[in-house]
Amino acid sequence: MHRTADGPALLDRIDPRSRILAAIAFALVVSVVNRPPALLAALACAFVSAAFSGVGPRDMLRRLAPLNVFMLLLVALMPLSSGGRQLGTVGPFPYGADGLRLALTIAAKGNAIVLLLIALAGSLDINTVGHAMSHFRVPDKLTHLLLFTVRYLDVLRREYHRLRVAIEVRAFRPGVNMHTYRTYGRLAGMLLVRSLDRSERVVAAMKCRGFHGHFYLLDHFHYSRRDALFAAVAAAILAGIARLEWL
Amino acid sequence: MSDPLVKLERVTFRYGERTVLDQCDLAISPAERIGLVGANGSGKTTLLGLIVGLRRPALGRVIVFGKPREREADFRAVRGRVGLLFQDSDDQLFCPTVAEDVAFGPFNLGKSRREVEEIVARTLAELGLEGYAHRVTYKLSGGEKRLVALATVLAMEPEVLLLDEPTAGLDETAAERVTGILAGLPQAMLIVSHDHPFLARIAGRTLCLRHGRLQEAS
């Protein structure tokens, strides 16, 4: 979890459920707007939220990087196959204005949505997301899947490292050959078998404590006046963006 | 002597062709602490599993709290009253936080939210784990995991404890802490361990599992 030095960031104090709902609503609205003023407003709003989220600028850039590599490709390639006013040529291909506008629109939308998702939902503890999911009446199986994945990811990672070390202390050097592939195949297979074994032991442990298919949640979220205020502000901003687009 | 809490009568268990337990007899009386030793793979963990119905014997009877237990439904009632501590605490702790893990058993027993919160706080305090309630289970150290696993078992207020190598893999300080806590508990216990000094301190008598039979260890 990311925290600023002076306690929880402003957005971290908002109820996780409101944050997730706001992020979803924002993503829906931004994905259908196309006019530059509306997109710029959305981007601005995403930047401001990011500033209050407690996610550091470096983390933010690191998370945005993969998206923007893809966006750069779009900006480079899309204008080549589109009509509109010609801006120049790349070799034999015309570089069209319509394509550039479209590519930039997509880049703006993508960045605004991802930035806001990171700001609102990305700083949530994964366990909190699990709890919020069950409050949203997401099917129990999905919630359990998420929480178990989080719980056992680390155990599996350690198991993988143990196997990895066991391989390396016997002078294994990966290369492009059959021996390497076979070794990795066995590593993956062994990991799978061990996971299966472990899952059986976990089920046994759960049965011993009287599990009958239902998880009880200990922590409950509290919806406060601050959350109502947050919801009102979020709704107003979304209405503003919609107005810039359609009026 | 009062009636035993747990009784195995001529229990036989096989993994495929291999007979792990061969007409094995065992009785655990109230407040009795029995150590269980035996070679690796001799069936000690299997024996614990039989008592809580994780495995079913091929032959013989498992009698817990005076009633023969045969079907899953019979054992469901047993599991709240017989607490099993697993060898690997990672198998036992599967909830995101310590408090939720400790609360899991009591909730399943049908306790109310208020009762559960009270039990969680009390159990953690008894084991000296105050302040651990909101810790994330997978980030705990090995010793802390073992103690929390013990807390999840004790939270169900069992009458019998089955402990599978409770001190294995712990450093001296952590092992000492676990030993001290176990020594102070009132429950009857069956304790699997390879740690002889530990058993000498905790257990009243020690049984050895060899060739599928239990015998008094010297």
- Helix B98-108 with B142-154: angle, nearest 10 deg: 20
Task: Note the pLDDT of residue B117.
Answer: 92
Residue A30 pLDDT: 92
Look up the CATH number of domain B32-53+80-216. Answer: 3.40.50.300
pLDDT at A226: 87
Q: Which of A209, A215, A216, A219 to mutate to test the interface with B (most CBs of B within 10 A)?
A: A209
Ranges of chain A with pLDDT below 70? 1-8, 219
For tokens 């070679």, what's the residue?
Answer: B39
Concatenated DSSP letters of A170-190 = TT----SSHHHHHHHHHHHHH
Looking at residue B36, its pLDDT comes to 96
- For chain A, the residue count is 247
Q: pLDDT digit string (tens) for A23-57?
A: 999 999 999 988 989 999 999 999 998 888 878 88
Is residue A216 within 8 angstroms of chain B, CB to CB?
A: yes
pLDDT of residue A219: 66
Give CA–CA dist B113/B120, Å, rounded. Answer: 10
How many angstroms separate the CA atoms of B76 and B110, rounded? 13
pLDDT in tens, A174-207: 888 888 888 888 888 888 888 888 888 888 888 8
Boundaries of every domain in chain A: 10-124+222-246, 132-208
In chain B, which residues have pLDDT < 70?
Answer: 1, 218
Interface of B with A in 30-49 (CB under 8 A): 49
Per-domain boundaries in chain B? 32-53+80-216
Contact A155 B108 (CB under 8 A): no
H or E element, residue B24: strand B18-28
**Residue in B105, B117, B136 nearest the CB of A209:** B105
* Sheet architecture: strand order including B59-64: B18-28, B6-15, B59-64, B67-68
CB contact under 8 A, B54 and A204: yes
Tell me what pLDDT residue B137 has.
Answer: 85
